[in-house]
Chains A and B, each alone.
Chain A
Amino acid sequence: MSAAVNGKTNISKELKKAEGINRLVVLPFKKSVEIAYKSIKVRFFRSLITTMSLVLAVSFLSFVSVTNDVANGFLATQNPDLRQALVRSGYDIAPEDTSVGSSPKQKWIIVLSLLVCVVGIVNAQLMAVTERFREIGTMKCLGALDRFVLRLFLLEASMQGLVGSVVGAVAGAIFAIINNFIRFGTVVFVELALLDVLFSILLASLIGCFLSLVGVFYPALVAARMQPVEAMRVEQ
């Protein structure tokens, strides 16, 4: 066994020396972005479905945290009327509280929704990989390395994740503000802590991107590890 390994490295080195050229296949980063982008565009409907669960989960997260931002904006004014309005609309505020956080139940629901979302992404991406067996196999026959395939899938997922979570986060925030406007009236806009809201949106977007990448990692690995023969054997 070790003899074979030695032989292998020797031959490789000899080859490289003899040829005097760099025997490397490449895929420039710009080109991978282009391929990934086109791939999403062509399969727009499929990408939309993959992204949908992410949009929903992130918008829920953003909705909850922006709603809290609004309440905290009210509390920060030290205005007893606003405090009263919050209590009337169902917030559990002790007299000495200066801020509200998510209740444990809320947190639990958020975590659960994000978890469901990741499972949804894994599921959708695994299906996408199966659908694309032939494409991946063909690329490998043309000289693609495992990491080209991995990179393409990760890039696609990050583009989908970025768009999906920004859309979700903004939609959730807008919905939260509208909802609070209906409950409390125009005072919502007066006392809105804009910076906090932006921070909530940003955080929700980042979490969304991260989840999208987590969800695609295993499917992308499956795709990258596939042998070209296996891919070619799958009937169309």
Chain B
Amino acid sequence: MSAKRNIVRVSKVTKAFQLGKLDVQALKGIDLEIAAGDYISIMGPSGSGKSTLFNMIGGLDKPTSGKVFIDEVDVAQLDAYELAWLRCRKIGYIFQTFNIIQVMTALENVTLPMVFGGMGNDAAVEKGIELLELVGLGDRFQHKPFELSGGQQQRVAIARALANDPSIILADEPTGNLDLKTGEEIITLLKQLSQERGVTVISATHDIKMLNVSDQVVWIRDGRVDKIEDRSELSISVGQVDIRE
């Protein structure tokens, strides 16, 4: 464990949302270290703060207190340009609702982050086709998102997340809107990518299928880390925990 480099470090992070007069504590002090190259699942019941934590790690939102470090750089210290650069080059995002840009073709979706990253058009198109082939959509790159099934759209999103060879892929319930079989395919694909490319995959999920491929599972309950389990300890507890509570 100590030999591995920490790519993400979350330190005493809290997040409060102001709902009128009500103060909702979504995160109540999260400490977390994620080693580079691992496949991490963040599990927990609905409303436990998975998405909120996900947004903090991804630099999409700022913690109320505490710090998030990515490659030992405090995300809160970055200016708008550096944050955009981080989102563009360091992190790939995958969402439950796919979030493919509907007005662009699959290929344009995949090449957009490369354009932002400063890659030339031809090189971007070439790499985009390569990535779409990698996720099994080699023949579909001129299709508009609405011509693709949910699973295919999620594959496009995965290809797009890989566009700039990020070191981290953040996936918020990537299988949440997919059926069982397609969900499994997506999980296998993510796992395969993580192994082949050494990408750190962090996914928030309800999906028990995720447990099989995870190197580590972080259980979140009510805005706190309930427990962290490594792969070896997992098989024992899966039977006991009711995920759907």
Q: Which residues of A approach B to under 8 Å, CB–CB? A: 7-8, 11-12, 15, 23-28, 31, 38-39, 42-43, 134-135, 137-146, 148, 227-229, 232, 236
B24 at the interface (CB under 8 A from A): no
Of A25, A228, A236, chain B has the most CB atoms within 10 Å of the CB of: A25
A43 neighbours in B (Cβ, 8 Å): 103
Given contacts A25-B117, A43-B103, contact A140 B87 (CB under 8 A): yes
Known contacts: A25-B118, A227-B61. The answer to whether A143 contacts B93 by CB under 8 A is: no
Given contacts A39-B103, A43-B103, A139-B112, 12 further A-B pairs with CB under 8 A are: A8-B79, A11-B77, A24-B81, A26-B117, A27-B116, A28-B115, A140-B84, A141-B87, A142-B113, A145-B84, A227-B61, A229-B60
- A12 B84 Cβ-Cβ under 8 A: no
* Chain B, residue nearest A235 (CB): B97
Flag if B87 contacts A229 (CB, 8 Å).
no
Query: A residues within 8 A CB of B1?
Result: none
Closest CB-CB distance, B130 to chain A, in whole Å? 18
- Residue B88 interfacial (CB < 8 Å): yes
Given contacts A39-B103, A143-B87, A232-B95, is CB(A27)–CB(B115) below 8 Å?
A: yes
Residues of A within 8 A of B97 (CB): 134, 236
CB distance from A38 to the nearest CB of B (A): 7
The answer for the CA separation of A227 and B83 in the assembled complex, in Å, is 12
A145→B117 contact, CB < 8 A: no
Q: Are A23 and B81 in contact, CB atoms less than 8 angstroms apart?
A: yes
Q: Give 6 nearest A-B pairs by CB, closest first.
A: A143-B88, A42-B103, A143-B116, A23-B85, A142-B113, A25-B116
CB atoms of B102 and A135 under 8 A apart: yes
Contact of B85 among A25, A140, A229 (CB under 8 A): A25
| Given known contacts A31-B115, A143-B116, A7 and B77 CB-to-CB distance under 8 angstroms | yes
**B78 CB-CB contact with A under 8 Å:** yes
Q: Which residues of B contact A144 (CB under 8 A)?
A: 84, 116
Interface residues of B in 53-111 (CB under 8 A from A): 55, 58, 60-61, 73-74, 77-82, 84-85, 87-89, 93, 95, 97, 99-104
Beyond A24-B85, A25-B85, A232-B95, is A143–B117 a contact (Cβ under 8 Å)? yes
CB closest chain-B residue, reference A135: B101
Instruction: Determine the chain B residues whose CB is within 8 A of the CB of A11 once the complex forms.
Output: 73-74, 77
Contacts of B50 on A, CB cut-off 8 Å?
Answer: none
**Residues of A with C-beta under 8 A to B78:** 12
